Structure 1
């Protein structure tokens, strides 16, 4: 009798999963929550103070700093959470700021600049921009009433950025459920972790251009909700007009986002795909009825995301200015 063997595609997916797990474990093993305890003991309190001030001045900034971390980490395996998203374009290279998911929408760069300047005055050349972004994301969530988590530190900054990788790796708001699951799976995340991370849309705002097609053409949307959005987002024009991703409590990190999905009030097409008769419906139901379960899973997924292929050791550099290489 012929022996059974694993189909080539399944074997590839299995090996890819093992590789991603190994990368995450190796990366996190080189990071430490006490990395700056002796070299820059005031780093974390400095970041927290600046973030609290920025969020107090503009609640939306909390979501912007969280999104900045996500868009930094999610680019690709060789450019994980490495501060590459902060690099400005140069005469010879195009960075990630002008990628489609980032152009005219990614925010918070000035807050990171302020924090970097403050830390450089305390301990020059010690704290990476990538670590600042990671800690600022955590502190932003906490400032808006969300969970905390231990940020592992010791990342170094990339000396390059990739426009093409940003365009191809960051999940688009037009993705269907299968595309979302695949995009997160490629980074080593389960569908459950994908739903938890999507819960970050309980804060922040989105531009009209990202939900225009949904409110005029899709049927799995509450009619009164769609009508109210059309007042802010005309069928043509108004691309940069804003609407909260969570219209119930847009500046509170809670589980209202999932409750909105149950009522077909997801703002983005990709949001509503999480509750559209598919495999993630049950997880949305679970998070909508159990805030603690959501915040715990979200915090754990954020730790995992922050450990995606960090530059450590002698790789990269500690930028003096987060916008350009040394």
Structure 2
């Protein structure tokens, strides 16, 4: 599991909760001045993940307003960019004279080394909390021209289309389910998040060529792989379909996978086989025909599925379902083969 630090103000009596939150904010690398109409009972929760190149924070809190002043910056300047995804409620963002209203599913971007104002209001009368996911990126880690970043400060960036949608899904998945990853995955996940954030921000600058070539390649690869996961069950999924969906040539698609020591076709096939093998091992799916499972994951042809499954795992799909992965069965099959050879 990814190491996660969690703060929950509800462990204290209502009147002490806002003070706990103020102490938390004061100890962060970029402290802010906080005001809230819910100071008498500030039920809030925060989770923090350190992913190496970037840090993530997942916030649940009542409506509030926050200001980072020049005085606070002089006291503590960690030289961070902040990319904030509003996941519930309505946010506001203001920096360098640019003001925006941020709806759920949208990002805003600002520089913690400059004065700014942010706010977050809950909009659902049944829920008093607003929610957001914050990505903190060191200035030195973002490979974009610093002199051009000011055009994005305090603005709105879509989190529902293109790379923005992929980044939003990534942040939601990682912060919502850290138990699904190993601690050793943290740095790699941070690199993926940084590449996606860089690509999204670069596309909102005047020219996309501000994004380094290798960052664009890795971000595009992540997009392609995410597309494969979403469409894995479609039998028509192929390198040509992948290339067309991402407006590149098949040759460019093949180059994209070269550094991964695989091909696009192999990536699709291996992922499909992994899903089939998993489902064939699931007792809850025991009554489903083998071919139904195969077809669900993009193998409509029974004979073809049997051939590629045997080539990958050394046994037929039915043998695997019947316990072919059991060590005792493997030993018995091997012994049988040896005896058969000896008989010959």
Settle same-fold status: TM greater than 0.5. Answer: no
Larger radius of gyration: 2
Q: Using structure 2 for the length normalisation, give the TM-score.
A: 0.25
Structure in which a larger fraction of residues adopt strand: 2
Q: Using structure 1 for the length normalisation, give the TM-score.
A: 0.26
Query: Of the two structures, which has the highest relative contact order with CA contacts closer than 8 Å and spacing of 6 or more?
Result: 1
